Amino acid sequence: MAFKEADYIWMNGEFVPWKDAKIHVLSHVVHYGTSVFEGIRAYKTPKGTAIFRLPEHIKRLFNSAKIYRMEIPFTPDELANAMKEAIRKNELESCYIRPLVYRGYNSLGVNPFPCPVEVSIAVWEWGKYLGPEALEKGVDVKISTWNRMAPNTFPATAKAGANYMNSQLVKMEAILDNYVEGIALDINGWVSEGSGENLFLVIDGKLYTPPLGASILAGITRDTVVKLAEEMGIEVTKMMIPREFLYTCDELFFTGSAAEITPISSVDKITVGSGKRGPITERLQKKFFDIVENGNDPYGWLQYV
Ligand code: PPE
In terms of C-beta distances under 8 Å and separation of at least 24 residues, what long-range contacts does 59-62 make, across chains too? Answer: 60/159, 60/218, 60/220, 61/36, 61/37, 61/99, 61/101, 61/159
Q: Is the shortest distance between the CB of 217 and ligand 1 below 6 Å?
A: yes
Query: Would you say 8 and 17 are in contact if contact means Cβ atoms under 8 Å apart?
Result: yes
Residues 6+ apart with CB under 8 A from 204: 250
Torsion of CA 155, 160, 166, 167, to 10 degrees: 120
- Dump pLDDT digits (tens) for 84-104: 999 999 999 999 999 999 999
Closest-CA residue to 228 (of 293, 284, 157): 284
Give the 3-state secondary structure of residue 98. Answer: strand
pLDDT at 192 > cutoff 80 = yes
- Point out which residues pair with 118 in neighbouring strands: 102
Instruction: Over range 226-249, report the average pLDDT.
Output: 98
pLDDT score at 243: 98
| Helix ranges restricted to H, 155-244 | 163-176, 220-231
Q: How far is CA 252 from CA 33, 149, 155, in A?
A: 32, 23, 26
- Dump pLDDT digits (tens) for 199-216: 999 999 999 999 999 999
Instruction: Over range 152-170, report the average pLDDT.
Output: 98
Instruction: Over range 14-36, report the average pLDDT.
Output: 98
Q: Choose the residue to mutate in 197, 215, 262 for probing ligand 1, maximizing ligand atoms within 8 Å of C-beta.
A: 197
Residue 48's region, left for phi above 0, alpha for psi from -120 to 50, else beta, is left
34: burial class by Cβ within 10 Å (0-12, 13-18, 19+)?
A: buried
4-18, 43-57, 124-138: least confidently modelled range: 124-138
Per cent of the chain over pLDDT 90 is 98
Q: How far is the CA of 176 from the centre of ligand 1 (A)?
A: 21
Q: Active-site residue 159, yes or no?
A: yes
- The conformation of residue 267, written as its DSSP 8-state character, comes to E
Instruction: Over range 166-189, report the average pLDDT.
Output: 98
pLDDT score at 132: 86
Sign of the four-CA dihedral 2, 185, 176, 161: positive
Instruction: Over range 289-300, report the average pLDDT.
Output: 98
Q: Choose the residue to mutate in 64, 217, 222, 292 for probing ligand 1, maximizing ligand atoms within 8 Å of C-beta.
A: 217
- Name the average pLDDT for the chain: 98
pLDDT band at 271 (very low <50, low <70, confident <90, very high): very high
Give the 3-state secondary structure of residue 170. Answer: helix
pTM: 0.98
CB atoms under 10 Å from CB of 72, counted, come to: 20
pLDDT at 24 > cutoff 90 = yes
Q: How far is the CA of 256 from the centre of ligand 1 (A)?
A: 5
Instruction: Over range 43-52, report the average pLDDT.
Output: 98
Instruction: Over range 239-263, report the average pLDDT.
Output: 98
Antiparallel, parallel or unpaired: β 236-238 and 206-209:
parallel
Closest residue to atom 20 of ligand 1, CA basis? 196
Instruction: Over range 102-124, report the average pLDDT.
Output: 98
pLDDT band at 1 (very low <50, low <70, confident <90, very high): confident
In terms of C-beta distances under 8 Å and separation of at least 24 residues, what long-range contacts does 295-299 make, across chains too? Answer: 295/45, 295/46, 295/47, 295/50, 297/50, 299/227
pLDDT at 228 > cutoff 90 = yes
